[in-house]
């Protein structure tokens, strides 16, 4: 991954010139607004603290070079990228440890607990909530525990399950599975860089979650290596033996221990993938259609509804210019859908099933008032499904502040939550900002809302500006009794809101589990649970 940006260092996204100019005009961006990234060797990291000898011996491989520490010092939220680009990092791990297996992880954790060394498990480092920040708490020093060497794959063909090492990246896991003729079907936008362990530790949700399920729904069993020992749940399809410890481990964000193996259900690789676009008159009509599809269990595997603003900006950034734009405009005008809301639908599976499910859903879409845009809108979404983070780098190069946040609620309160969070963001960012939203994970009882916002970044004040917007949105979410996160997890940034999420007794119960598994409190301090 680019050391201060996203993805493949050789890949850049070219934005159409007209789109850049339109965005500059709308947001009031002037030349000189952008942060020119410093070079990697100009970044000044905090002086490393010495690593206790017992930890060094237990670890085997210890990386202490500045570049290794820098590459594990931050996730990929907007403030992370600002800190990296300006070379101003207040925290960094004192060293990086890379155990080769679960036994090695156990030895390291035992030594770290005995020597009071904080441990930050590190998967792909794509956290957008400060999950991998090297916070030391009150410990002697802090290490990043890089899990990239734990990459086993063990397939049970009869049961269609696979046990995976946490260090496999999304593409590594999928290509191993592809060779076996199966798929997990878990494709978050961070797929290229995030890992199996990270998916489990954060309860990740992929773009096709309506069809395949969120990552936590795919998991059948976990192995957690904690400072006090190893906890394994049975590899079985279901159990009624008390509350689920698997669920306690999923979403634990490295604060209880390290997830050293994840067993998942897989499906035969799809023979056909069909994506297409539809246009709803407005966001309310679009939500009613998505709800109807979800409640009748007829939702496509991918269903994504953009609000009016996201639809407008996506079409602008895609540069749908010239003849194609005029043709689309004319068509939408004819169907009275100009200024409407784009719905992307995708079906995957066996040919006959795809066609059957698609025609059921198409009937519902039509009945709900949506107009068909055809396959090209769907294929264009499919081609650019992982482009968002590259786009963010380019927008930051122009001086745009770009960030995303997400939440979820029941259908009956989704409209209220949408208005409250959108209003809070606009209030914090001012008039010359763009706040847009989509629904991409739908359930029978509700859905998630995913907000993206752009504004002119004020040089030198970017992080304060971000903080004002983020807290306004989080407070609006809490006031509406929505969840503080549907899939980005808690990390450091959402920890202060966990009291509202779980209540005092709930927090104490989670704290008691942590106390039992990590009595020295070395696992990922300052994340998940609020500091008292
Ligand atoms: C551009 C972009 C797009 C994104 N899109 C999505 C999306 O579509 N859906 C989604 O759900 N999320 C998304 N995310 C968020 C992020 O990618 C996910 O949270 C992902 O699951 C994190 O995986 P990772 O391997 O990068 O974990 P990391 O960032 O390395 O770690 C995340 C947290 O989990 C802990 N951790 C990591 N591995 C382990 C382990 N083996 N055991 C215990 N703890 C561990 C870390 O300590 C940290 O607290 C996106 C992020 C970015 C930057």
In the numeric block, which tokens belong to residue 472? Answer: 């306004």
The percent of residues in the chain predicted with pLDDT above 70, rounded, is 97
Q: Cα of 386 to ligand 1 centre, how many Å?
A: 15
Q: Model confidence over 423-439: pLDDT tens digits?
A: 999 999 999 999 999 99
CA 125 to chain centre: 11
Atom of ligand 1 nearest to the CA of 260: 41
Edge-to-edge order in the sheet of strand 433-439:
371-374, 272-280, 341-349, 302-306, 433-439, 446-456, 400-410
The mean per-residue pLDDT over the stretch 438-444 comes to: 96
Binding site membership of 198 for ligand 1 (Cβ less than 6 Å): yes
Q: Cα of 125 to ligand 1 centre, how many Å?
A: 7
Binding site membership of 225 for ligand 1 (Cβ less than 6 Å): no
Atom 27, ligand 1: residue with shortest CA distance: 198
Query: How sure is the predictor about 339, in pLDDT bands with cuts at 50, 70 and 90?
Result: confident
Distance CA(452)–CA(403), nearest Å, equals 6
The mean per-residue pLDDT over the stretch 2-23 comes to: 90
pLDDT above 70 for 464: yes
Query: How sure is the predictor about 316, in pLDDT bands with cuts at 50, 70 and 90?
Result: confident
Its pTM surpasses 0.95: yes
Q: How far from 416 is each of 286, 408, 425, 477, 501, CA to CA, in Å? A: 15, 11, 14, 10, 18
Long-range CB pairs of 229-233 (<8 Å, 24+ gap) are 229/106, 230/102, 230/106, 230/260, 231/257, 231/517
Atom of ligand 1 nearest to the CA of 150: 41
In the numeric block, which tokens belong to residue 189? Answer: 């936008």
Q: Which is nearest to 447 in space by CA: 209, 199, 127, 191? A: 209
In the numeric block, which tokens belong to residue 238? Answer: 């279901």
Q: Helices marked H in 28-179 — which ranges?
A: 53-59, 66-71, 78-86, 102-115, 170-179
Q: Model confidence over 146-167: pLDDT tens digits?
A: 999 999 999 999 999 999 999 9
Average pLDDT of the chain, as a whole number: 95
Q: Cα of 413 to ligand 1 centre, how many Å?
A: 28
Atom of ligand 1 nearest to the CA of 527: 49
- The pLDDT value recorded for residue 324 is 62
Q: Cα of 289 to ligand 1 centre, how many Å?
A: 31
Atom of ligand 1 nearest to the CA of 120: 47
Query: How sure is the predictor about 12, in pLDDT bands with cuts at 50, 70 and 90?
Result: confident
Best mutation site among 8, 91, 120, 198 for ligand 1 pocket (most ligand atoms within 8 Å of CB) = 198
Q: Model confidence over 353-394: pLDDT tens digits?
A: 999 999 999 999 999 999 999 999 999 999 999 999 999 999
Instruction: Please tell me whether residue 171 adopts helix, strand or coil conformation.
Output: helix
- The pLDDT value recorded for residue 19 is 87
- The pLDDT value recorded for residue 322 is 57
Query: How sure is the predictor about 321, in pLDDT bands with cuts at 50, 70 and 90?
Result: low
Q: Model confidence over 467-517: pLDDT tens digits?
A: 999 999 999 999 999 999 999 999 999 999 999 999 999 999 999 999 999
pLDDT above 60 for 228: yes
- The pLDDT value recorded for residue 318 is 76
SS3 readout for 61-92: CEECCHHHHHHCCCCCCHHHHHHHHHCECCCC
SS3 readout for 381-427: HHHCCCCHHHHHHHHHHHCEEEEEEEEEEEHHHHHHHHHHHHHHHHH
The percent of residues in the chain predicted with pLDDT above 90, rounded, is 90
- What would the DSSP string read from start to end of 427-486? HHH-SSEEEEEEE--B-SSEEEEEEEEEEEPPTT-HHHHHHHHHHHHHHHHHHTT--S-S
Largest CA distance in the chain: 74
Query: How sure is the predictor about 466, in pLDDT bands with cuts at 50, 70 and 90?
Result: very high
Q: Cα of 78 to ligand 1 centre, how many Å?
A: 15
Q: Cα of 279 to ligand 1 centre, how many Å?
A: 32
Atom of ligand 1 nearest to the CA of 196: 25
- The pLDDT value recorded for residue 32 is 82
- The pLDDT value recorded for residue 326 is 64
- The pLDDT value recorded for residue 315 is 87
- What would the DSSP string read from start to end of 319-363? T--HHHHHHHHHHHHHTT-TT-EEEEEEEEE-HHHHHHHHHHHHH
Query: How sure is the predictor about 320, in pLDDT bands with cuts at 50, 70 and 90?
Result: low
pLDDT above 80 for 329: no
- The pLDDT value recorded for residue 212 is 96
- The pLDDT value recorded for residue 325 is 67
The mean per-residue pLDDT over the stretch 290-304 comes to: 98
Q: How many residues does the chain have?
A: 532
Atom of ligand 1 nearest to the CA of 147: 41
Q: How far from 460 is each of 34, 84, 92, 129, 180, CA to CA, in Å? A: 10, 13, 21, 21, 51
> What letter would DSSP give residue 251?
T
Give the number of C-alpha atoms closer than 13 A to the C-alpha of residue 369, restricted to the C-beta side.
16
Q: Model confidence over 162-212: pLDDT tens digits?
A: 999 999 999 999 999 999 999 999 999 999 999 999 999 999 999 999 999
Binding site membership of 122 for ligand 1 (Cβ less than 6 Å): yes
136 contacts 48 by C-beta, under 8 angstroms = no
Atom 10, ligand 1: residue with shortest CA distance: 204
The mean per-residue pLDDT over the stretch 215-231 comes to: 98
Q: Model confidence over 36-88: pLDDT tens digits?
A: 999 999 999 999 999 999 999 999 899 999 999 999 999 999 999 999 999 99
In the numeric block, which tokens belong to residue 36? Answer: 């020119």
pLDDT above 70 for 243: yes
Q: Cα of 423 to ligand 1 centre, how many Å?
A: 28
Query: How sure is the predictor about 531, in pLDDT bands with cuts at 50, 70 and 90?
Result: confident
Q: Cα of 498 to ligand 1 centre, how many Å?
A: 18
Binding site membership of 205 for ligand 1 (Cβ less than 6 Å): yes
Q: Cα of 484 to ligand 1 centre, how many Å?
A: 16
């Amino acid at each position: 991954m680019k050391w201060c940006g996203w993805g493949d260092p050789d890949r850049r996204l070219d934005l159409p010139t007209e789109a850049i100019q339109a965005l500059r005009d709308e947001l009031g961006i002037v030349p000189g607004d952008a942060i020119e990234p410093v070079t990697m060797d100009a970044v000044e990291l905090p002086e490393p603290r010495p690593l206790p000898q017992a930890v060094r011996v237990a670890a085997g491989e210890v990386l202490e070079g500045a570049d290794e520490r820098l590459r594990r010092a931050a996730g990929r939220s907007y403030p992370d990228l600002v800190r990296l680009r300006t070379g101003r990092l207040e925290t960094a791990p004192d060293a990086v440890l890379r155990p080769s297996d679960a036994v090695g992880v156990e030895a390291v954790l035992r030594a770290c607990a005995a020597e009071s060394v904080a441990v930050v498990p590190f998967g792909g480092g794509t956290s957008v909530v400060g999950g991998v920040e090297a916070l030391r708490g009150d410990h002697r020093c802090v290490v990043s525990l890089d899990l990239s060497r734990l990459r086993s794959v063990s397939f049970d063909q009869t049961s269609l399950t696979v046990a995976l090492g946490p260090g496999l990246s999304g593409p590594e896991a999928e290509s191993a599975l592809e060779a076996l003729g199966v798929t997990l079907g878990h494709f978050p936008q961070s797929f290229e860089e995030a890992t199996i362990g990270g998916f489990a530790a954060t309860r990740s949700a992929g773009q096709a979650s309506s069809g395949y399920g969120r990552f936590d729904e795919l998991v059948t069993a976990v192995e957690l290596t904690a400072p006090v020992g190893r906890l394994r749940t049975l590899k079985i399809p279901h159990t009624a033996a008390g509350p689920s410890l698997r669920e306690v481990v999923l979403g634990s964000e490295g604060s209880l221990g390290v997830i050293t193996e994840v067993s998942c259900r897989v499906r035969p690789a799809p023979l056909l993938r069909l994506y297409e676009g539809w246009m709803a008159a407005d966001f309310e009509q679009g939500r009613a259609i998505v709800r109807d599809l979800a409640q009748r269990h007829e939702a496509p595997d991918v269903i994504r509804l953009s609000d009016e603003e996201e639809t407008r900006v996506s079409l602008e950034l895609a540069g749908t210019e010239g003849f194609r734009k005029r043709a689309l405009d004319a068509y939408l005008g004819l169907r009275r859908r100009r200024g409407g809301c784009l719905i992307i639908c995708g079906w995957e599976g066996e040919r006959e099933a795809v066609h059957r499910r698609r025609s059921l859903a198409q009937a519902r879409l039509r009945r709900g008032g949506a107009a068909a845009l055809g396959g090209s809108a769907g294929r264009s979404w499919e081609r650019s499904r992982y482009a968002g983070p590259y786009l963010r780098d380019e927008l930051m190069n122009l001086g745009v502040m770009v960030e995303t946040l997400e939440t979820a609620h029941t259908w009956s309160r989704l409209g209220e939550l949408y208005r409250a969070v959108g209003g809070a963001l606009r209030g914090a960012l001012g008039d010359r900002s763009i706040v847009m939203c989509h629904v991409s994970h739908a359930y029978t009882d509700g859905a998630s809302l995913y907000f993206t916002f752009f504004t002119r970044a004020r040089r030198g004040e970017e992080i304060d500006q971000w903080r004002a917007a983020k807290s306004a949105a989080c407070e609006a979410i809490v006031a509406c009794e929505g969840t503080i996160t549907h899939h980005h997890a808690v990390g450091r940034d959402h920890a202060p809101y966990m009291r509202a999420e779980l209540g005092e007794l709930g927090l104490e119960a989670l704290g008691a589990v942590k106390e039992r598994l990590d009595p020295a409190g070395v696992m990922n301090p300052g994340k998940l649970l609020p500091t008292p």
